[in-house]
Chain A
Amino acid sequence: QSALTQPASVSGSPGQSITISCTGASTDIGTYDLVSWYQQHPGKVPKLMIYEDRKRPSGVSNRFSGSKSGNTASLTISGLQAEDEADYYCCSYAGDNTFVFGTGTKVTVL
């Protein structure tokens, strides 16, 4: 199972919106509505930000939103803030109780 493809880095100024893409295959993202997104600050444990493609866990800011089209999922951060600077990973269910993570994207707030 190959890792899902994400851009290595995305940047934006405070207040702007940015979008991180996550490209998989018809065997994972394209088949299951089970993409999740994680935020990881340096030295910290990953935090669930989005699940089931577009749902937000309780306590996660509504500035974070998820979407999907075909084999590509996306995470949009609107009203970018300094605290959003972190690494972001997508993850998709891939059938038979297996999962695959994305390559990760470093978000920089300029």
Chain B
Amino acid sequence: QVQLVQSGAEVKKPGSSVKVSCKASGGTFSTHSISWVRQAPGQGLEWMGGIIPIFGTPTNGQKFQGRLTITTDDSTSTAYMELSSLTSEDTAVYYCARDQGSFGSATGFDHWGQGTLVIVSS
């Protein structure tokens, strides 16, 4: 059974960076894309970016170009999302989500992490 377990909640100062981890267990890690999706309080889901571990090249949404870094560590089946230059508008729950298909087939996110709350406040 595939499971994605994310790191714990963070409180950050404006201008700083946050790094969230997403450790996968069960299934094959390297061939399924991992996306990062966030949800601000009371708001909808927003796709941030993703990566297919076996290829290693991340894709970022236009809104996050220049301040989003997505990486993976295949040895531990862990994906990471680092967001820099934080502002209060980055306060949100951040989810990792796995595509059920392989090699970027984009067939839907069938497994999600439990979410990580990031609060940006001075």
Q: What is the bound-complex CA distance between A50 and B61, given in angstroms?
A: 23
Q: Are B108 and A52 in contact, with the CB atoms below 8 A? A: yes
Q: Are A48 and B100 in contact, with the CB atoms below 8 A? A: yes
**Of the residues B97, B104, B112, contact of A97 by C-beta under 8 Å:** B104
Q: Say yes or no for A64: interface residue by CB 8 A criterion.
A: no
Inter-chain contacts of A96 with B (CB < 8 A) = 59
Binds A, one of B7-15, B16-24, B44-52, B80-88: B44-52
Q: Which of A45, A50, A99 has the most CB of B within 10 A?
A: A99
Q: How large is the interface on B (under 10, 10 to 19, 20 to 34, 35 or more residues)?
A: 20 to 34
Q: Say yes or no for A10: interface residue by CB 8 A criterion.
A: no
Inter-chain contacts of B78 with A (CB < 8 A) = none
Q: Are B47 and A52 in contact, with the CB atoms below 8 A? A: no
Q: Which of A89, A93, A97 has the most CB of B within 10 A?
A: A97
Q: Say yes or no for B2: interface residue by CB 8 A criterion.
A: no
Find the B residue at minimum CB distance from A50.
B108
Residues of A within 8 A of B (CB): 1, 3, 32, 34, 36, 38, 40, 45-46, 48, 50-52, 57, 87, 89, 91, 93, 96-104
